[in-house]
Structure formats: C-alpha cells, structure tokens
Amino acid sequence: MAKRNILGTAIFDGEAAQKGYALNKMCFSFNSAENRAAFLKDEDGYCRRFGLDDAQMAAVRRRNVLDLIAAGGNIYYLAKLAGILGLSVQDIGAQQTGMSVEAFKAKLLAEGA
C-alpha cells in the first residue's frame, strides 16, 4: 500500500516497528532503575547486549533523535532514553526542529496566544 507522506512526520508502522525492535526493546528496559544505571555505566556494551545495529548505535551515541526515529525508534520508548540523558520533551523538540530550546518554548507559548 502506498504510504501517505505527512510533512516532518514519521508513521510508526509495522515496517518501522520491525526495523526498530532492538532499539525500542532496549529503551523499554529503561523502566527499571537498575537498567538505567547499567546503560550509563557502559553504553556501548548495553546497546550491544540488545543487538542494536550500527546505525542505531551511532544514533544513540550522537543523542540524535531524528536519526533514532529513522532507525526505527518510537518516541514513547525513546522518551525513556531521553529521560536518562536528562533531555525534556522541549529539549528533543528543539533538537529535531533545529531551534534553540528557548525559541522552541516561545513557539509553543505563541500557539496559545
């Protein structure tokens, strides 16, 4: 079936879910404080344990959300990784849109005006 193109938006469908399974499974493991600590202690080792591919490993290393999504990451699971890294949803919004965090927050406030 032809996929619908929505500007600046990735649809997390079966193809993405299959591609991103290892990455998302790793992020799902971050519901546990023990696992979060294990990741911080040895990031690459933890990623390898979950079988992340090279693109996923690189995206984790660079903390690049758009790359993580392109590698099959789902934002609900990626949010748990962002939490470990101390990134709020405004931080990751700013990163993805190429704005400063202040500008991103100001844009949200302006939407309410």
Partner 1 sequence: MALIVGGLGTSHVPAIGGAIARGAQGESYWKPFFDGFDPVHRWLDATKPDVAIIFYNDHGLNFFLDKMPTFAIGVANSYCNADEGWGLPVQRPFRGDPKLSWHLTEALLAEEFDLTTCQEMLVDHAVTVPMSLLWPGVGDRSVAIVPIAVNTVQHPLPSPSRCFKLGKAVGRALDTYPESLNVLVVGSGGLSHQLDGARAGFINKPFDLMCLDKLVDDPEAITRFSVLDLVELAGTQGVEILNWLAMRGALSDRVSKLHCNYHVPISNTASAVLLLG
What is d(CA 109, CA 102) in angstroms, rounded to the nearest whole number?
11
Total residues interacting with partner 1, rule: CB under 8 A: 46
Minimum gap (Å) between residue 49 Cβ and partner 1: 17
What is d(CA 78, CA 52) in angstroms, rounded to the nearest whole number?
14
Q: Which of 73, 98, 65, 60 is nearest to 22 (CA)?
A: 73
Contact between residue 74 and residue 24 where contact means Cβ atoms under 8 Å apart: yes
CA 110 to chain centre: 26
What is d(CA 67, CA 56) in angstroms, rounded to the nearest whole number?
8
Site for partner 1 in 12-71 (CB under 8 A): 12-14, 17, 21, 24-25, 27-28, 30-33, 36, 65-66, 69
Q: Which stretch binds partner 1 (CB under 8 A): 2-10, 42-50, 51-59?
A: 2-10
Minimum gap (Å) between residue 58 Cβ and partner 1: 19
Interface residue with partner 1 among 38, 55, 58, 79 (CB under 8 A) is 79
List residues near partner 1 by CB under 8 A: 4, 6-14, 17, 21, 24-25, 27-28, 30-33, 36, 65-66, 69, 74-80, 82-84, 89-90, 92-93, 96-97, 104, 107-109, 111-112
